[in-house]
Structure 1
Amino acid sequence: MFKRNTLWMVLAAIALVTGGVCTAFAQGESSQKQQSLYERLGGLAPISVVVSDFIDALMPDAFLNANPAIDAARKRVPAPYLKYHVTAMVCQAAGGPCQYHGRGMKASHAHLNITEREWERMVTIFKEVLAKHRVPAKETQELLDIVRSTKADIVASQGGR
């Protein structure tokens, strides 16, 4: 989804529909440097696809589900609900127009007793999904920085499973 050609075709189509083709091409590279992460990722549609793939990869992960609290939460919380909230959170954190209205990271993860190793497994899966979608290195790093900013509120134990 994040392939450069696909991304540019989507942006060109949006510009064409909104009548901004001349302006978009006239600003060229200089405007790209000023774009938010949300804009550089292509907006809500590509973000939602990546989040959907990420959740789909997390849900059945045997290592993560070995934690009984995570496994129970996976069975209790429907994937579409989780995808909705994570998409809104990423959209907002990336500078987009979405508003996250879910619980805070600490409140929503405290009961899961997430370990450092489980956190690292989640980060590995996230990186794999970003690579699959060919998210550029700069944007990948910015997304990882956003994710890492939540670690203190999510990881409850330095121990391992």
Structure 2
Amino acid sequence: MWSLQLNSFLYAMLAAIWLVGLNNASAQEKEDDANSLYSRLGGLAPISMVVNDFIDVIVVDELLNANPAIDAARKVVPAPYLKYHVTAMVCQATGGPCQYHGRTMKAAHAHLNITQKEWEQMVVLLKGVFDKYEIPGKEQQELMDIVDSTQADIVMSK
């Protein structure tokens, strides 16, 4: 009888230790989520608003549309479709729950012959949208680091 009680007690202690460990892991995951760029930006709604305005700004930009390949792509790829994919990509890249299922940056942009000058124009437009939404400097820099990591796959000519 004593042996059975001791085993029950040991199993209960092991279960309690395991549950405490799970709770600590969950607390750490919650803290990590709260510290993610996605969370600091406010989640999906604010991200989608920024992306919406950014796409609205770039699709009418004269410098970007002077590139015949970009202009032609604008006529084939509807802005709402682009907004959907860019929102999912930003959500995922910032630590959010979304999954981007589009093409790679290289595959999506290779045929556009994007120049360094066009890239720089896009960055100016993007920063203008960041400023419009008063995104804090630290978060802007983290977003720009993500954007900059795609430059080699997007810019195809000087």
TM value normalised by structure 1: 0.77
Alignment partner of 1:42 is 2:46: no
Secondary structure of 1:101's aligned partner = coil
Structure-2 residue corresponding to 1:17:
none
Aligned-residue CA RMSD (Å): 1.4
- Using the alignment, how far apart are the partners of 1:94 and 1:77 within structure 2? 25
TM value normalised by structure 2: 0.79
Structure-1 residue corresponding to 2:153:
153
Structure-2 residue corresponding to 1:75:
75
Q: Contact (CA 8 Å) 2:34, 2:40: kept in 1 or not?
A: no
- Using the alignment, how far apart are the partners of 2:95 and 2:34 within structure 1? 12
Cα separation, partners in 2 of 1:63 and 1:96, compared to 1, 3 Å: same
Q: How many residues align?
A: 128
Secondary structure of 1:156's aligned partner = strand
Which has the higher Rg, Structure 1 or Structure 2?
2
Structure-2 residue corresponding to 1:12:
none
Q: Contact (CA 8 Å) 1:32, 1:40: kept in 2 or not?
A: no
- Using the alignment, how far apart are the partners of 1:117 and 1:49 within structure 2? 26
Structure-2 residue corresponding to 1:15:
none
Structure with a larger share of its residues in helix:
2
Structure 1 alignment gaps of length 5 or more: 1-30
- Using the alignment, how far apart are the partners of 1:64 and 1:33 within structure 2? 36
User: 1:34 Cα shift?
Assistant: 5.8
